[in-house]
């Protein structure tokens, strides 16, 4: 084709003409806008004017060959279009002139066309065969380094696992039928078992590596694929297999652990009942020992005493059943017994009834069901007897004589499940944030009267405030849960009561955080976030249940608060009057410090960002709530009110204490970890993340601190101001912070995130 040489006047208009004619939808009003600009452009020659006006007649649009030539002229310049320019297309046209001619002034008439027609890069960048620069995030920090910090000691295991997730079996798709969904999830779990991940937390003798912390880490990564897969995996290997490992003895390990880890023996964890959810100690299912036959009879006494919401119920052949163990007519409390529920042909064992729970809000790839037992007999050896046993002579024995202590010791061994639920919730929040942020770094909305290019959603302070504190929280909770699982897995620590208190509180605040964050991300993506293809809907449905399984969050927060009170009581009992004076002295010191006008209204940045201020503020809240709730309980008991009723009267106070304790624990753990980061650049980043988390949490509870006189109105306003300021300061790095989560690219399949 003949190559034409255009004058500067014509050349600068070619990108505009190419854009407005490519869709062939130029209206008469739009034509008049372009025509007016050309008529007022005194830089054009008469020939330029006639050429341009000639291509503004809707009745005779440019021929295909002419459009093709315009496109070639544009492409041959190899000029890059910068979306962040105030007038991207006008600036691009100016650069074209600069490419061919010595003089290339900016043409304000082109700017008028760009403004009046509202021409934006997202309207035309698909038309140009050129690279478009999108300046949306800084590269100052390295996401690989951030991911490495979060992975910690388990980097190689997590990286290998993420590679495993590249297998096509883990490709995401919309699944509406629960039967096919369940079948697919079972195949995924069996696939992971063959790769050795099912047995990971088990002893090496049974195919594992005894690496519970790494197991928890990959559990979070499963949420990047599918919540149903993660939960099904957790039920099979964590709950069912974990109960055998933690509550059973060698005979049970030898008989069942290897097959469980390989997913050859599918099992379920039958604890919760319809009539007894959070109150495990009150379950009604009985396990009565029959000395004559040397068997244990499992029985559901009433209609609502069935096991409820049991994951893996439809696929399992065995259940780990929690029931009241009755030996020689005496109830020895809740114990776990292995009960076959299906035979080799997958038919129900006589006496076992199972019903499908049906469709749920989410996790429809998990086969939840209800289970009833009618006089089902199992051998005495099926009792998981680490903490309580029935001897061959038919008598009961336990090394832990106190029934309450024995019960809580048994449950304490299963705390790892709560940590994994928190990790799964965190994984859901991370993926939702990744989708929302990546969308906000592409999606544009609104602009001012000068800048033609609409602004990125992520550049709006309100959007930053919606998402950035949540990203900071993800980093804080990630490090905290890693530390907690390490503590839980420490075999030298026999008393797990402290970690049980910590897990109860953190599981609560993190799963609530996850749900709130996912909802915020859904809204931040507008209607696109409501489409199933963009996956936030699945995350929303799947993570919702995390607030009530493995313990209802309100119940767990009270459990955490009671753990704090137990430590408080122990301190008093061990040190007596001295401890009381010590605590009172600390409270008086706090009061004197906080009523100081200089302190309560100190808005200096160095003070507000100081770890010492954050730790003191969180610790003050925890200690004050501990003392005041203890005094309230004491006063009620003094009045003759039973202790149980006294606790009911202070229930909301206990919830506040449990939350305060958990937030303090998370912050202190993260702040202490941050001090260990050797690379100064990353350490400073983590310090900024730490400050944002702290100030955001203090801002949320500002009313309490104001009531206590800990801060004044001026300082309260400063907290809000600096949360916004830190969110803005982290804006250039928001993409890197999201990539620092390490979510594999093959798990980010949402169209708005690619």
CB 37 within 8 A of CB 110: yes
Closest CA to 255 of 430, 123, 65, 382: 382
Closest CA to 306 of 351, 260, 338, 251: 351
Q: Based on DSSP, count helices (H) and strands (E) in the chain, helices before strands.
A: 32, 13
List 454, 550, 664, 724, catalytic entry: 550
- The Cα–Cα gap between 438 and 299 comes to 53
How far is residue 169 CA from its own chain's centroid?
Answer: 23
Q: Determine how many CB atoms are found less than 10 A away from the CB of residue 254.
A: 12
Please list the residues that pair with 370 across neighbouring strands.
355
- The Cα–Cα gap between 217 and 547 comes to 20
Sort 708 into a burial class: Cβ within 10 Å, 0-12 / 13-18 / 19+: middle
Q: Which residue has the tokens 């009433």?
A: 302
Query: Could you write out the three-class secondary structure of 106-172?
Result: CCHHHHHHHHHHCCCHHHHHHHCCCCEECCCCCCCCCHHHHHHHHHHHHHHHHHHHHHHCCCHHHCC
Q: How far, CA to CA in Å, does 579 sit from each of 561, 569, 571, 585, 590?
A: 20, 10, 7, 10, 16
- The token pair at 613 is 């201020």
Contacts of 430 by beta carbon, 8 Å cutoff, 6+ apart: 220, 224, 474, 741, 743
Q: Is 345 a catalytic residue?
A: no
- Tell me the longest C-alpha to C-alpha distance in the chain: 114
- The token pair at 680 is 């100064």
Q: How far, CA to CA in Å, does 655 sit from each of 151, 528, 555, 564, 622?
A: 32, 36, 9, 12, 11
- The Cα–Cα gap between 410 and 327 comes to 19
* DSSP for 441-500, written as a single string: TT-B----SS--SPPBGGGSHHHHHHHHHHHHHHHHHHHHHHHHHHHHT-TT----HHHH
- The Cα–Cα gap between 638 and 647 comes to 13
- The token pair at 367 is 């086969």
Please list the residues that pair with 378 across neighbouring strands.
296
CB 449 within 8 A of CB 145: no
Tell whether the torsion through CA atoms of 709, 713, 719 and 722 is positive or negative: negative
Task: Rounding to the nearest 10 degrees, give the CA dihedral for residues 226, 230, 236, 239.
Answer: -150
Contacts of 418 by beta carbon, 8 Å cutoff, 6+ apart: 503, 504, 507, 550, 551, 556
Q: How far, CA to CA in Å, does 45 sit from each of 7, 8, 39, 48, 66?
A: 9, 10, 11, 5, 21
CA neighbours closer than 13 Å in the CB half-sphere of residue 491: 5
- The Cα–Cα gap between 550 and 564 comes to 20
Write b or e for each residue in 484-501: b if 16 or more Cβ atoms lie within 10 A of its Cβ, otherwise e: bbebbbeeeeeebeebbb
- The token pair at 189 is 């779990």
CA angle 582, 588, 593 (to 5 degrees): 125
Residues with catalytic roles: 550
């Amino acid at each position: 084709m003949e190559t034409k040489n255009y004058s500067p006047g014509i050349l600068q208009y070619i990108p505009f003409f190419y854009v407005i004619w490519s869709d062939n939808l130029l209206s008469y009003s739009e034509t008049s806008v372009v025509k007016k600009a050309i008529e007022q452009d005194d830089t054009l020659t008469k020939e330029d004017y006639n050429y341009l006006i000639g291509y503004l007649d809707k009745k005779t649009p440019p021929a295909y060959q002419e459009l093709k030539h315009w496109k070639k002229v544009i492409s041959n310049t190899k000029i890059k279009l910068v979306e962040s320019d105030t007038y991207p297309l006008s600036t691009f046209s100016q650069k074209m002139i600069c490419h061919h001619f010595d003089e290339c002034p900016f043409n304000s008439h082109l700017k008028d066309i760009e403004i009046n027609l509202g021409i934006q890069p997202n309207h035309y960048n698909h038309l140009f065969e050129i690279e478009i620069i999108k300046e949306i995030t800084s590269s100052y920090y390295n996401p690989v380094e951030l991911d490495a910090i979060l992975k910690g000691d388990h980097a190689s295991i997590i990286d290998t696992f993420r590679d495993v997730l590249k297998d096509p079996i883990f490709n995401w798709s919309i699944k509406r039928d629960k039967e096919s969904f369940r079948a697919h999830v079972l195949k995924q779990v069996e696939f992971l078992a063959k790769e050795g991940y099912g047995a990971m937390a088990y002893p090496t003798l049974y195919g594992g590596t005894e690496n519970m912390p790494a197991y928890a880490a990959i559990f979070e990564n499963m949420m990047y694929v599918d919540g149903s897969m993660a939960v099904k995996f957790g039920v099979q290997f964590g709950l069912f297999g974990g109960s055998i490992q933690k509550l059973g003895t060698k005979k049970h390990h030898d008989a069942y652990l290897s097959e469980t880890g390989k997913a050859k023996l599918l099992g379920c964890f039958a604890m919760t009942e319809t009539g007894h959810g959070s109150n495990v100690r009150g379950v009604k299912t009985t396990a009565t020992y029959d000395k004559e036959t040397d068997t244990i009879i499992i029985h559901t006494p009433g209609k609502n005493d069935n096991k409820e919401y049991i994951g893996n119920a439809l696929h399992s052949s065995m259940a780990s059943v929690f029931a009241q163990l009755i030996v020689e007519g005496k109830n020895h409390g809740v114990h776990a017994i292995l009960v076959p529920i299906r035979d080799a042909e997958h038919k129900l064992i006589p006496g076992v009834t199972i019903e499908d729970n049906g469709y749920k809000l989410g996790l429809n790839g998990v086969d939840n069901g209800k289970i009833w037992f009618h006089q089902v007999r199992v051998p005495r050896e099926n009792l998981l007897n680490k903490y309580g046993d029935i001897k061959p002579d038919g008598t009961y024995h336990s090394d832990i004589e106190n029934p309450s202590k024995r019960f809580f010791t048994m449950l304490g061994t299963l705390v790892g499940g709560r940590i994994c639920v928190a990790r799964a919730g965190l994984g859901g929040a991370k993926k939702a944030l990744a989708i929302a942020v990546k969308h906000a770094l592409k999606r544009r909305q609104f602009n001012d009267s000068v800048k033609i290019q609409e602004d990125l959603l992520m550049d709006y302070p309100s959007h930053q405030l919606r998402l950035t504190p949540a990203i900071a929280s993800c980093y804080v909770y990630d490090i905290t849960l890693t530390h907690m699982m390490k503590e839980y897995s420490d075999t030298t620590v026999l008393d797990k009561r402290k970690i049980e208190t910590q897990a109860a509180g953190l599981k609560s605040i993190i799963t609530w955080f996850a749900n709130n964050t996912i909802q915020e991300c859904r809204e931040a993506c507008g209607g696109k976030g409501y489409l199933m293809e963009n996956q936030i809907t699945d995350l929303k449905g799947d993570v919702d249940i995390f607030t009530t399984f493995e313990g209802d969050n309100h119940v767990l927060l009270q459990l955490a608060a009671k753990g704090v009170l137990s430590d408080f009581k122990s301190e008093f009992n061990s040190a007596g009057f001295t401890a009381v004076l010590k605590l009172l002295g600390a409270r008086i010191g706090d009061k004197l410090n906080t009523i100081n006008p200089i302190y309560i209204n100190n808005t200096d940045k160095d003070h507000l960002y100081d770890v010492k201020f954050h730790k003191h503020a969180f610790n003050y809240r925890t200690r004050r709530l501990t003392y005041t709730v203890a005094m309230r309980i004491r006063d009620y008991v003094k009045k003759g009110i039973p202790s149980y009723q006294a606790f009911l009267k202070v229930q909301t106070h206990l919830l506040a204490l449990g939350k305060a304790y958990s937030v303090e624990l998370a912050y202190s753990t993260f702040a202490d970890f941050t001090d260990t980061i050797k690379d100064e650049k990353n350490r400073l980043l983590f310090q900024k993340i730490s400050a944002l988390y702290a100030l955001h949490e203090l801002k949320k509870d500002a009313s309490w601190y104001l009531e206590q006189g800990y801060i004044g109105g001026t300082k309260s306003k400063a907290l809000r101001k600096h949360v916004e300021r830190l969110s803005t300061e982290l804006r250039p790095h928001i993409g890197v912070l999201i990539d620092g989560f390490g979510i594999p690219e093959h798990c980010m399949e949402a169209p708005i995130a690619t």
